Structure 1
Amino acid sequence: MNPFKPLNRGLLIAGLGISLAGFGGEQAAEASIRNRVRGTVSVMGKPVADASVTLWTTRGGQEPEQVKVVRSKKDGSFAVSVKPKDGTVHYLVASGGTVNKSNVDRLTMLTVLDETVNGTVMINERTTVGSVWPNAQQLKGNQLFGSENALAVGSGHVKHLVNQSTGQFGTTLLNGFNLLSSETAARINVLSDLLALCGDPTKEQGCTKLFQLTEATNSLDAMTNIAKLPWKNTGKLYKLFDKNYPLNNNKERRTTASLPYLLFQPESFSLSIRFQGGGALALGKLGFDQKGHLWSGANWMPGSQSGVVNSIGGGMTHFDQTATAQSPPITGYNGQGLDGVGWGTGISENYAWVSTFNNKVGVFDLKDGTAVGPAIIDKEVGQLQGIGTSKNGDVWIADNTSNYMIRFPGGDFTKGKRLSFKGLQAPFGVAVDDQNRIWVSSSFNNKLTVIEGDSPDQFKTVTVALGARGLAIDSKGNAWLSQQSNSPTGALPAGAVMPPGTPNPPQQPKTIMEEFEAGAAFAAVNPNLKTLGNLALISPDLEIIQNGIAGEVAFVPWGVTIDGNDNVWVGNLYGQSLIHICGTDPSTCPEGKTTGDVIHNYQSGVIQVTTDVVVDDAGNIWSANNWFDADVVINKSYNARTSTFPGGQGLVVTYGVAAPVQNPLMGAVRKPN
């Protein structure tokens, strides 16, 4: 465990300029009563005088409470007293006021506080953007409310984008893995400059246009609406920025715009941050526990020169609600002789599970990552992949190379039983519906197997395209399946070829890495191929409702997840993107979109070759970077410059774009209570 971790990190105490743990006796009691926070309201570096500054508190499942309203002084300064309490998130909203003695009534800005605030706080256009995006799904006007986990996640991520004390960029955004690899900083500045139109009395027309494009009546609502639909009116918003922050006479720089700004129109105004550490290299499947902590098994060990030919396997990684690594660097959690994890990460009531390349099932205590396994199975098994958890607590694991399923009744890791099913070949992904049926994809044949969990001897199959991977069950019981080919027969796209020496017909690989190597080899000999595969939608009655979904952008789709609106998210492996698809309730989709339509395809430099996507309790999307440089994944020879490049670097959080869910995933997707 991290000795510096707060006793309950999920319950964020906001606005603290001091650590209560550093006080004793009377000092601690006094500090626990009240803490003075001094702040400044500004826009584009100019003070906002006479602004109404409201301190709010909010707790999980409760309505926000207005604590205090003060007015900013001529220099924009103000002071409020914060009374910290476990489980309470504090935030500040500044409305109206004057800039250079002119009214700015349509200006509303926000700063969500957490334990990083050191007695001072800034409320400006950048803190507003940094506060809105991780909390977008919890914001209704100036009201911030959601579940305990949602509030902890949202408030805990603000610091990665912006420093609430200074109003400048957050330290995570400024590290080289983010600043130099994505548009996030430049997008934040353009968004901030758009918001600032409402704080400049000479640019009232620009502010009005911003509200028209975002269907808002104040600048905070405008930012919230952009965060939820960051692809909407992107071109028009960028043109608004271009018009109001023109190039100077030499046409070299926008002298009034915040630096750095976007030189090109973005595909969207989504904001993504990459997180690393804790042994997170080449992550496969992701899963959240009851506290909103993320767990994932790692294919390979950081710094180990591992690829699909030569590899040292990784262990279990663990990140808290704020994406801070809790597991040890390099190795992750282990202690059970685990040597590499693929698609096998699952969560039950008390444990995090991983299924490994070396024929073991690792089990870890959710409280602190203590190894309690390996699990006991009644017979020998092969190399393992997907894990699914039923509502009744049963844990199911796919034996990918020996063609079995393993069941742990009630999540008892000492009572694993190996089960056989006729026709089951290379089982890969596992999902469980609310009828306790276990849906199992195959990475080799063209059959989707559906097992009756209460009567495991009964099962049915559905014919699908070859190379199925991830699947997910929506709230109506429909299954969404990623397929890495376009047909049940494996017919190649026009112009595509198989690597030299490939058996015809192909044989089931003996190891998981052999299968991954074959995929990398196929991509290597088809460099001009840009799309391959699609999704299928299958009814609870096992009928294929729709096929070929997202085929126009899918390029070897992998992980699938469902958000709280029953819309669908896909980790697009070689496409290095996150595909957002309209689900079976078009009323929750943008106008003009219906079931199976692609809503947006999210890309960023921090999003690498992606195997999985999951939705947290606050509505942010977390994705797994599985490979970094696909050209060197087949590591048959040594190259000093690139030998450590195959593994994907950490994980990525894309903020505010999905409808929140209730984690962990046990059975079908659940909406928040």
Structure 2
Amino acid sequence: MHVRPLPARTGRRHGTARAGALRLASATVAAACAAFALPAPAPGAAQASLQGTVTGAGKPLQGSQVTLMAGSRSGATELGRATADAHGSFRITYTKPAGGVLYVEAASRQAHRLRLRSVVGFGAGGAVHERTATKVTVNELTTVAATYALARFSGRRGVAGPAPGLQNAAATSFNLADPTTGKPGRPLTGDSANSETLATQNTLANLVSLCATDNAGCDKLIRLATPSGGSTPADTVQAVLGLVQNPTQSPDRLQALARTAKTFTPALTAAPRSWVLAVRLTASQVYAPGRIAFDAKGNVWASNNWKPGTRDASPYVTVQDPTGRSVLGSPISGGGMKGGAWGLAIDHDGSVWAPSYGGNAMSKYSSSGTPLSPSAGWKDGDLVKPQGVAVDQRGNIWIANSHGLKGKPGAGSVVVYPHGDPSKAVTITDKSFNHPFAVQIDGRGRAWVTNSHLSYQEVREAGRPSDIGGSVTIIGPDFKPVSSTTDKSLQAPLGFALDSKGNAWVASFFSGAVTEIRPNGTVAGVHRLPKRVFPWSVAVDGQDRVWVAGFGNSSVTLLCGVNSAACPSGASAGTVLSPADGFRNKAIQHLTAVQIDSSGNAWVANNWSKLVPPTGGTGLVELVGVATPVCTPLTPLPARPSSATTTACPK
């Protein structure tokens, strides 16, 4: 590793106004500050009624104690309770609270470890319009769905946490299971790419069903779901929650145990790689997506390389809500978009900035989806094939200009729009620049930039060179480069992320490594992945754990970060916590992006579906409940939402 200071002669010029055995810390958002406090009812709220049915292993659970609960940022509280009759039916009359989520829990008198759960609805505050059911089914499938979706808001005192993550998490549960019917959600049954997840969820539901029929099998489930050195689950909800938090826990033995139950089909016929539930969500024009960003409500924006079924540049950016539905008029055209490659950032006003790779321009959209840039985009700063984009603390827009300057291919530059004003563009050049790719801002307002040494197209289509090289440049808030980091591990470095301590975690495409770089630019560690992973992008969650998107083997790898308390005993920075070749699923294609939302889901972008011939990927994939939530949009370092203050995230 070598860190060299950069010369003070850095030029600037102005453009014109032309436009594994994973174990998470048991503390959750809910446990941090949950207290049994009643959410205030909506002004003038009337009595509401909930009817439902409780079943176990497909049969009514007579005598079950059913409790309707409300969860909010203030804590969890009981709204009403009932006893299921001979048909498993119940009715609860309650006063609907303002905001938060509603869920039902059912405990069997005969099977003391059997606890079932179902989401009833959620109030305003998230990206999805509020929804409350009047009829609900409570069974093993809804238990798995609710537990996975609300995993980062669940503790032994109930479900609680801040908006919008809590409400969006509840909405996500409807994709896994319909709480009205108790059957799998539409994304799982309507998309063959989600067949593996459908079978995995059914297998988990069959495991829960053992506690309704087989005490010995139930006891075995509890034992197998107990992580090494961890606490024994008290009931089936806690057992499922443990598998969300420890997705590599006992896959062989648990799957073998599940085969003794036949309530839910189709189920897995072989042991899974992990217990991760990955759901592909498709929407119009979400094709060959390159980059993802979440807005303050939790909507997921994506840049898209190509038009569906072609290699023609896409004129759209797309927006999906947390359940995958197109919103804000998506797909959104105009503003100069022509093939959004690998850039997307949201500024302090909620506006979205997306580089138009094919248009050599920047596009901008309002938080409601209206194009704000001219029809050809903004080209100020001599943009040529712009890639990564970031917003700093002062509202400056930083752009990795991968091919500029014009007439100097391979050099590249970094362009800044001060306070978001293209007419005042500053173009930064330096001899360390070589196809700048990604840019991120640290807590000191400095911009970190990866130099990939190859063009975007060359990276995706090249073979494996022996020594392509690469580097990371740090630029000060005054727009002057400070230092450049080189290391043998940096072979075509692409996406990266900064953790809460300001360390950079850089994915190098050809070395198969994630290089950890300290805030002073020195290399802290080189963490090797199997070379077939070809890592492309990195995200850091609210406990500083590191998520890596693999383009080569279509995988998501999880590494322990600098917070060893969030990792299993004995793990340290760089320890692989996922299976050796990452979390894999039929829904996951060749990936170029991974991001964490405020509900604790990891989202990835299916950029390609086939390597030969190059074929675009379809949709985004959500790994439900696997990560620790982060505030969105990034602020710029990852911060965990809190219920302890009036505002859950920094402004």
Would the TM-score normalized by the shorter structure come out above 0.5? yes
Change (3 A) 1:296 1:436: same
Q: Which amino acid aligns with 1:669?
A: P
Unpaired runs of 5+ residues, structure 2, are 1-41, 122-129, 226-231, 405-411, 454-467, 643-651
CA contact (8 A) 1:279 1:314 kept: no
Is 1:361 the equivalent of 2:378? no
Q: Hey, what's the Cα distance between the residues in 1 that align with 2:326 and 2:423?
A: 29
Q: Hey, what's the Cα distance between the residues in 2 that align with 1:176 and 1:286?
A: 22
Q: Hey, what's the Cα distance between the residues in 1 that align with 2:444 and 2:523?
A: 19
Matches within 5 A, 1:571-582: 571-582=549-560
CA contact (8 A) 2:380 2:423 kept: no
CA contact (8 A) 1:385 1:398 kept: yes
Q: Hey, what's the Cα distance between the residues in 1 that align with 2:149 and 2:253?
A: 24
Match of 1:555 among 517, 533, 539: 533
Q: Hey, what's the Cα distance between the residues in 2 that align with 1:118 and 1:220?
A: 22
CA contact (8 A) 2:233 2:239 kept: yes
Please report how far the alpha carbon of residue 144 of structure 1 lies from its aligned counterpart in structure 2 after TM superposition.
Answer: 0.7
Please report how far the alpha carbon of residue 116 of structure 1 lies from its aligned counterpart in structure 2 after TM superposition.
Answer: 6.0
Change (3 A) 1:284 1:218: same
Q: Hey, what's the Cα distance between the residues in 1 that align with 2:263 and 2:53?
A: 21
The equivalent residue for 1:104 is 111
Q: Hey, what's the Cα distance between the residues in 2 that align with 1:38 and 1:666?
A: 43
Is 1:659 the equivalent of 2:628? yes
Change (3 A) 1:472 1:50: same
The equivalent residue for 1:348 is 347
Q: Hey, what's the Cα distance between the residues in 2 that align with 1:580 and 1:39?
A: 39
Matches within 5 A, 1:512-591: 533-547=512-526, 549-552=527-530, 555-591=533-569
The equivalent residue for 2:403 is 401
SS in 2 for 1:602: coil
Per-residue Cα deviation, 1:499-548 (whole angstroms, up to 9, x for no partner): xxxxxxxxxxxxxxxxxxxxxxxxxxxxxxxxxx211011112111111x
SS in 2 for 1:617: coil
SS in 2 for 1:302: coil
Is 1:175 the equivalent of 2:144? no
Q: Which amino acid aligns with 1:660?
A: P
The equivalent residue for 1:373 is 373
Q: Which amino acid aligns with 1:404?
A: S
Match of 1:650 among 598, 619, 624: 619
CA contact (8 A) 2:49 2:134 kept: yes
Q: Hey, what's the Cα distance between the residues in 2 that align with 1:631 and 1:566?
A: 36
Change (3 A) 1:344 1:473: same
Is 1:221 the equivalent of 2:230? no
Change (3 A) 1:423 1:550: closer
Flag the structure with more relative contact order, 1 or 2, with Cα contacts below 8 A and sequence separation at least 6: 2
The equivalent residue for 2:179 is 164
Q: Hey, what's the Cα distance between the residues in 1 that align with 2:54 and 2:289?
A: 42
Q: Hey, what's the Cα distance between the residues in 1 that align with 2:284 and 2:420?
A: 26
SS in 2 for 1:190: helix
Q: Hey, what's the Cα distance between the residues in 2 that align with 1:354 and 1:670?
A: 23
Per-residue Cα deviation, 1:632-665 (whole angstroms, up to 9, x for no partner): 21xxxxxxxxxxxx11101000111111111111
CA contact (8 A) 1:177 1:274 kept: no
Q: Hey, what's the Cα distance between the residues in 2 that align with 1:413 and 1:159?
A: 42
Match of 1:480 among 502, 505, 519: 505
Q: Hey, what's the Cα distance between the residues in 1 that align with 2:528 and 2:157?
A: 36
The equivalent residue for 1:249 is none
Q: Which amino acid aligns with 1:461?
A: S
Is 1:432 the equivalent of 2:434? no
Q: Hey, what's the Cα distance between the residues in 2 that align with 1:197 and 1:626?
A: 40
CA contact (8 A) 1:172 1:178 kept: no
CA contact (8 A) 1:377 1:418 kept: no
Is 1:90 the equivalent of 2:71? no
Please report how far the alpha carbon of residue 168 of structure 1 lies from its aligned counterpart in structure 2 after TM superposition.
Answer: 0.6
Q: Which amino acid aligns with 1:649?
A: T
Change (3 A) 1:284 1:149: same
Please report how far the alpha carbon of residue 558 of structure 1 lies from its aligned counterpart in structure 2 after TM superposition.
Answer: 0.5
CA contact (8 A) 1:294 1:321 kept: yes
Is 1:138 the equivalent of 2:153? yes
SS in 2 for 1:261: coil
Q: Which amino acid aligns with 1:91?
A: Y
SS in 2 for 1:584: coil
Matches within 5 A, 1:58-73: 58-59=71-72, 61-73=73-85
Q: Hey, what's the Cα distance between the residues in 1 that align with 2:572 and 2:257?
A: 30
Q: Which amino acid aligns with 1:212?
A: R
Q: Hey, what's the Cα distance between the residues in 1 that align with 2:135 and 2:383?
A: 58
Q: Hey, what's the Cα distance between the residues in 2 that align with 1:624 and 1:296?
A: 8
Please report how far the alpha carbon of residue 391 of structure 1 lies from its aligned counterpart in structure 2 after TM superposition.
Answer: 2.7
Per-residue Cα deviation, 1:57-114 (whole angstroms, up to 9, x for no partner): 122x2111211121111211001235445523111111123xxxxx112110100123
Change (3 A) 1:614 1:171: same
Please report how far the alpha carbon of residue 377 of structure 1 lies from its aligned counterpart in structure 2 after TM superposition.
Answer: 5.3
Please report how far the alpha carbon of residue 555 of structure 1 lies from its aligned counterpart in structure 2 after TM superposition.
Answer: 2.0
Per-residue Cα deviation, 1:209-264 (whole angstroms, up to 9, x for no partner): 1112222011110111111211112122122223x34xxxxxxxxxx342111111
The equivalent residue for 2:247 is 230
Q: Hey, what's the Cα distance between the residues in 2 that align with 1:608 and 1:452?
A: 34
Q: Which amino acid aligns with 1:541?
A: N
The equivalent residue for 2:256 is 239
CA contact (8 A) 2:111 2:212 kept: yes
CA contact (8 A) 1:373 1:413 kept: no
SS in 2 for 1:81: strand
Please report how far the alpha carbon of residue 420 of structure 1 lies from its aligned counterpart in structure 2 after TM superposition.
Answer: 1.6
CA contact (8 A) 2:329 2:369 kept: no
Which is worse superposed, 624-633 or 584-593? 584-593
Is 1:418 the equivalent of 2:427? yes
Q: Which amino acid aligns with 2:548?
A: V
Change (3 A) 1:437 1:287: same
Q: Hey, what's the Cα distance between the residues in 2 that align with 1:328 and 1:231?
A: 40
Number of aligned residue pairs: 557
Give the alignment's TM-score, normalised by structure 2.
Answer: 0.82
Match of 1:614 among 564, 577, 595: 595
Q: Hey, what's the Cα distance between the residues in 2 that align with 1:659 and 1:29?
A: 34
Please report how far the alpha carbon of residue 35 of structure 1 lies from its aligned counterpart in structure 2 after TM superposition.
Answer: 2.9
CA contact (8 A) 2:152 2:628 kept: yes
Q: Hey, what's the Cα distance between the residues in 1 that align with 2:541 and 2:58?
A: 39
CA contact (8 A) 1:550 1:597 kept: no
**Identity percentage over the alignment?**
29
Please report how far the alpha carbon of residue 327 of structure 1 lies from its aligned counterpart in structure 2 after TM superposition.
Answer: 5.3
Matches within 5 A, 1:186-265: 186-200=199-213, 203-214=214-225, 215-242=232-259, 244-245=260-261, 256-265=262-271
The equivalent residue for 1:76 is 88
Q: Which amino acid aligns with 1:121?
A: V
Q: Hey, what's the Cα distance between the residues in 2 that align with 1:383 and 1:129?
A: 45
SS in 2 for 1:591: coil
CA contact (8 A) 1:534 1:554 kept: no
Please report how far the alpha carbon of residue 376 of structure 1 lies from its aligned counterpart in structure 2 after TM superposition.
Answer: 4.3
Cα RMSD for the two superposed structures: 2.0
Q: Hey, what's the Cα distance between the residues in 1 that align with 2:601 and 2:221?
A: 25
Match of 2:387 among 381, 385, 388: 385
Q: Which amino acid aligns with 2:300?
A: L
SS in 2 for 1:281: coil
Q: Which amino acid aligns with 1:671?
A: R
Q: Hey, what's the Cα distance between the residues in 2 that align with 1:265 and 1:163?
A: 26
SS in 2 for 1:90: strand
CA contact (8 A) 1:278 1:326 kept: no
Unpaired runs of 5+ residues, structure 1, are 1-27, 98-102, 246-255, 487-532, 634-645
